[in-house]
Amino acid sequence: MSFVLDASVALLWLAPDTQPAGVDYATATLLALKETQALVPSLMALEASNVVAKLESKGLLTQADSQRFIALLGRLNIVTDPATAAHALGDTLHLARRHKLSAYDAAYLELALRSGLPLATLDASLAKAAQSAGVSIFGTH
């Protein structure tokens, strides 16, 4: 089954020490991508770039580490949604207001709602909002 992939999960593939409690979930999600595809809002690449740049500037990652992560993302069956921006000032903004989320997090929720797919996330606020909106969390029963 396909799912919407939140950056909070993917970025643990790069920096597992940042949230050790989520590593098992992130690993299971990565393994699931061998069998299915993930959908991401177009802002995902910017989020990943931002985290990579911050971790490198703090000396927590080398550019070689970052390049391996970027190469991994390129090999995975991850599809970027072309309509994220078209929903930003409407449905996404509404979800951000309603659930007190950042617009970035609301973009993942909006995509999950629009696509009818479960959401893979380690962000507690986003998971709570997703469940409140009727979106299932990937990998849970």
C-alpha pair distances (Å), 54 with each of 23, 67, 88: 20, 14, 25
3-state DSSP assignment of residue 4: strand
The pTM is what?
Answer: 0.94
Q: Is residue 139 part of a domain?
A: no
Q: Is residue 17 part of a domain?
A: yes
3-state DSSP assignment of residue 22: helix
Number of compact structural domains in the chain: 1
The sign of the dihedral angle between the CA atoms of 132, 3, 13, 83 is: negative
Please give the average per-residue pLDDT across 16-42, as a whole number.
95
Please give the average per-residue pLDDT across 112-128, as a whole number.
97
- pLDDT > 90? residue 100: yes
Looking at the chain, list the stretches that DSSP marks H as alpha helix, in order from N- to C-terminal side: 7-14, 23-32, 44-57, 63-75, 84-87, 93-99, 103-115, 124-132
Q: Residues 34-47: pLDDT tens digits?
A: 999 999 999 999 99
Q: Is residue 30 part of a domain?
A: yes
Which domain range does residue 27 map to? 3-132
**CATH number, position 54:** 3.40.50.1010
Q: Is residue 141 part of a domain?
A: no
- pLDDT > 90? residue 140: no
Q: Is residue 62 part of a domain?
A: yes
- Which pLDDT value is given to residue 141? 54
Residue 76 confidence class, pLDDT cut points 50, 70, 90: very high
